[in-house]
Structure 1
Amino acid sequence: MRMKRTFDAVIFDLDGTLIDSMWVWSKIDEAYLGRYGLEVEDSFEAELEGKSFTETAVYVKERFQISESVEEIKAEWNKMAAEFYQTQVPLKKHVREFLEFVETQGLKMGIATSNSQELVAIVLEAHDIREKFQVICTSCEVERGKPYPYVYQKVAQDLEVAPERCLAFEDVPNGVLAAKRAGMTICAIRDCQTVDMEKVLRQEADYFVEDYKQILDYYKNDYKKSYA
Structure 2
Amino acid sequence: MLHKTKAVIFDLDGTMADSMTVWTDIDHLFFKNRGITVPKTLQQDIEGKSFTETAEYFVKTFSLPETVEELKAVWHSQAIEQYQYHVALKPGILEFLTYLKSRSVKIGIATSNSRDLLNAFLEARSLTGYIDVSVTSCDVSAGKPAPDVYLKTAELLKISPEECLVFEDVPMGILAGKRAGMKVCAVEDAYSADQRTRKRELADFYINDYFQILQSDYEVLP
Per-residue CA deviations over 1:27-49 (Å, capped at 9, x if unaligned) read 10111222221122232112110
Q: 1:172 aligns with which of 165, 170, 173?
A: 170
Name the residue aligned to 1:84.
Answer: 82
Q: Secondary structure at the match of 1:6?
A: coil
What's 2:147 paired with? 149
Deviations 1:104-139 (A, max 9, x none): 111000000000001001111111101111111000
String of CA shifts for 1:184-208, please: whole Å, max 9, x gaps: 0000010011111111111110111
State which of 115, 132, 147 in structure 1 corresponds to 2:113.
115
Specify the alignment match of 1:14 in structure 2.
12
Which residue in the other structure is 2:199 paired with? 201
How far 1:209 moved relative to its partner?
1.0
State how far apart, in whole Å, the 2-side matches of 1:42 and 1:90 are: 27
Q: Give the share of equivalent positions with the same residue, in percent.
A: 47
1: CA distance, partners of 2:6 / 2:215: 21
SS of aligned partner of 1:218: coil
Equivalence map 1:1-228=2 (5 Å): 1=1, 3=2, 5-218=3-216
User: Normalising by the residue count of structure 2, what TM-score does the alignment of the two structures yield?
Assistant: 0.96
Q: Unaligned stretches of 5+ in structure 1? A: 220-228
Q: Quote the Cα distance in structure 2 between the aligned partners of 1:77 and 1:33.
A: 13
Please tell me the residue identity of whatever aligns with 2:122.
L
Distance 1:46 1:181 in 2: 19
* RMSD (Å), alpha carbons: 1.0
Question: Take 1:175 and 1:44, find their aligned partners in 2: how far apart are those partners?
Answer: 16
After TM superposition, the structure 1 stretch with the greater mean CA deviation from structure 2, 36-45 or 112-121, is 36-45
Q: Which of these two proteins has the greater Rg computed from alpha carbons?
A: 1
Please, which moves more after superposition, 172-181 or 27-36? 27-36
Partners of 1:42 and 1:87 in 2: how far apart? Answer: 30
State how far apart, in whole Å, the 2-side matches of 1:130 and 1:121 are: 8
Deviation per CA, 1:65-85, whole angstroms, max 9, x where unpaired? 001100000011011001111
Matched residue of 1:78: which SS?
Answer: helix
In 1, the alpha carbon distance for the partners of 2:84 and 2:120 equals 6
Q: Which has the higher helix share?
A: 1
- 1:54-107 superposed Cα distances (whole Å, 9 cap, x missing partner): 000000000000011000000110110011111110100111001001111110
Give secondary structure in 2 for the equivalent of 1:208: strand
- Using the alignment, how far apart are the partners of 2:196 and 2:212 within structure 1? 17
Amino acid at match of 1:27: D
Q: How many residues align?
A: 217
Q: Which amino acid counterpart does residue 217 of structure 1 have in structure 2?
A: Q
**Which aligned segments of 4 or more residues in structure 1 are displaced greater than 2 angstroms?**
none
